[in-house]
Structure 1
Amino acid sequence: MDQILFSTREKLAADFGAVDTWVFDLDNTLYPHHANLWEQVDNRITTWIADYYGVDGLTARALQKYYYQRYGTSLRGLMVDEGLDPAGFLDFAHDIDHSRIEADPLLGTALRALPGRKLIFTSGTVNHALNIVRKLEITEHFGDVFDIVAADYLPKPAVETYDRFFGQHGVDPSRAAMFEDLSRNLIVPHARGMRTILVVPHAPGDILREDWELQGRYEPHVDYVTDDLPAFVDRLAEALAA
């Protein structure tokens, strides 16, 4: 259930009135979970690992998830353990079909009405982000993309990566809010003073996610939860304009 529906305009204005920077994760946040783009990326990573190690799909999958859970991304694990050059891996992983994403005029209108700058903070690449925002037709609303390359390949939830992001973009965390689909990635932002919004799937049974990825909505570092990003941003913009 979308928590914002139970919040008055006054509460929203009080919680978000000082925010001048809105930070959005990319995958499963800016586009709905049911588009299942991440399933394509996930499968391509499995294929890449199988080819790299010369193993079967099940073994590759086990290695992939080991790296993901230990290092935050499979790429980071391969870089640490194998000294991998990341460029070819990233190009292969993000070579996906974007036809599942359609233009989202409601999100575009809501972003336009939301005062302040908007940034994308992703563990993917700039090109991956641009391909998605172009399909959503919301490119114009974002000032920049902080990607895995800008993070020196150290993914969220590493503290150093948030600090690098804040410094590079001059973000005052006490005047910023973050939208993210993984609860653990909101721990550091909340501790630094950001308002945090967890974006959850509308129907979890229809998507490919691991159980731990769908947990954490009731943790104290999550200020708000929504299963409808356009509606959330629209109501928030309306409250701030009142």
Structure 2
Amino acid sequence: MSADLTHVDTWLFDLDNTLYPVESGFMKQAEARMTQFVAKTTGLPMDEAYELQKTYFRDYGLTLHGLMEHHGVDPDEYHAIFHDISLDALAHDTDLLAALQRLPGRRLIFTNADDRHAERVLERLGLSALFDDVFHIGSFGFLPKPDPAAFDRMVEAHGMAPAATAFFEDSERNLEPAAGLGMTTVLVGAHAQDSHASFVHHRTDKLAPFLATARLKEAA
């Protein structure tokens, strides 16, 4: 059955692995560069650097946060390693474009990436003109999702009404603070149906069909 989203007028989307499928392999390139950066910063061999990278991601929600906390890494230096990653793995999705266009109200990006990365990816996907703003990691003082403070800052910055907001994410744990605020949560991706978390309200393996069939407040 189609999802009832007739109460929603603010549409909040994660970026990577949400607005394009994880199967594209795009983020594997980014992950490899993260490991190289951690190895260079710490002097660890690649396998140990990878394990540390995953530890920081698990503990802080973002590898960068651990690197800043324990190694004094400059976030601008870190983000620069992603700015020339090939975008060839990403393609326009005309079905997603049409589905996003029908959404009434505001469309926003909420990402742990920086502004330049978000700009490059959205442009490559042909979606830049559809979003009113990008709330990136620098916008919330480098406190990453799922830190509740990041959500509080975003809500305040955009004057959002959580009860009228739907949040779309590929990471289950990033949906919990959103649900705690009263947002409608949608888990996106190939493994979404495996989730049994009570704070996940909707699950879909593909974003475009979910949006295309959802019941909305009004035509965009």
TM-score bucket (shorter structure): over 0.9
In the other structure, the counterpart of 1:37 is 26
Please state whether the residue corresponding to 2:95 is helix, strand or coil: helix
1:71 to partner: Cα distance: 1.1
1:215 to partner: Cα distance: 8.9
Aligned residue among 210, 215, 218 for 1:232: 210
Q: Give yes or no for contact 2:6–2:217 (8 Å, CA) kept in 1.
A: no
Aligned residue among 41, 47, 53 for 2:42: 53
In the other structure, the counterpart of 1:76 is 65
- What's the CA shift string for 1:98-156, capped at 9, x where partnerless? 10111111111111111111000000011111111111111111000000101111100
Please state whether the residue corresponding to 1:114 is helix, strand or coil: coil
Please state whether the residue corresponding to 1:149 is helix, strand or coil: helix
- What's the CA shift string for 1:66-118, capped at 9, x where partnerless? 11111111110011112221101111134311101111111111111111110
Aligned residue among 126, 140, 162 for 1:173: 162
Q: Give yes or no for contact 2:163–2:182 (8 Å, CA) kept in 1.
A: yes
Query: For the residues of structure 2 that align with 1:167 and 1:85, how far apart are their CA atoms?
Result: 26
Alignment of 1:19 with 2:8, yes or no, is yes
Question: Match of 1:113, as an amino acid?
Answer: R
Question: Match of 1:63, as an amino acid?
Answer: L
Q: Give yes or no for contact 2:8–2:216 (8 Å, CA) kept in 1.
A: no
Alignment of 1:107 with 2:119, yes or no, is no
1:224 to partner: Cα distance: 0.5
List alignment gaps of at least 5 residues for structure 2: none
Count, aligned residues = 219
Question: Match of 1:228, as an amino acid?
Answer: K
- What's the CA shift string for 1:52-73, capped at 9, x where partnerless? 1222111111111111111111
1:240 to partner: Cα distance: 5.0
Question: Match of 1:114, as an amino acid?
Answer: L
Query: For the residues of structure 2 that align with 1:98 and 1:198, how far apart are their CA atoms?
Result: 24
Query: For the residues of structure 2 that align with 1:139 and 1:127, how far apart are their CA atoms?
Result: 12
Please state whether the residue corresponding to 2:15 is helix, strand or coil: coil
Please state whether the residue corresponding to 1:145 is helix, strand or coil: strand
- What's the CA shift string for 1:184-222, capped at 9, x where partnerless? 111111111111100012xx6xxxxxxxxx796211101
Please state whether the residue corresponding to 2:166 is helix, strand or coil: strand
Percent identical residues: 38
Query: For the residues of structure 2 that align with 1:120 and 1:18, how far apart are their CA atoms?
Result: 19
Please state whether the residue corresponding to 2:41 is helix, strand or coil: helix
Spell out the pairing of 1:150-189 with structure 2 (5 A cutoff).
Answer: 150-189=139-178
TM-score of the superposition, structure 2-length normalised? 0.94
Please state whether the residue corresponding to 1:178 is helix, strand or coil: strand
- Which aligned segments of 4 or more residues in structure 1 are displaced greater than 2 angstroms? 237-241
Query: For the residues of structure 1 that align with 2:78 and 2:22, how far apart are their CA atoms?
Result: 24
Please state whether the residue corresponding to 1:198 is helix, strand or coil: strand
Distance 1:32 1:188, change over 3 A: same
RMSD across aligned positions (CA): 1.7
Please state whether the residue corresponding to 1:93 is helix, strand or coil: coil
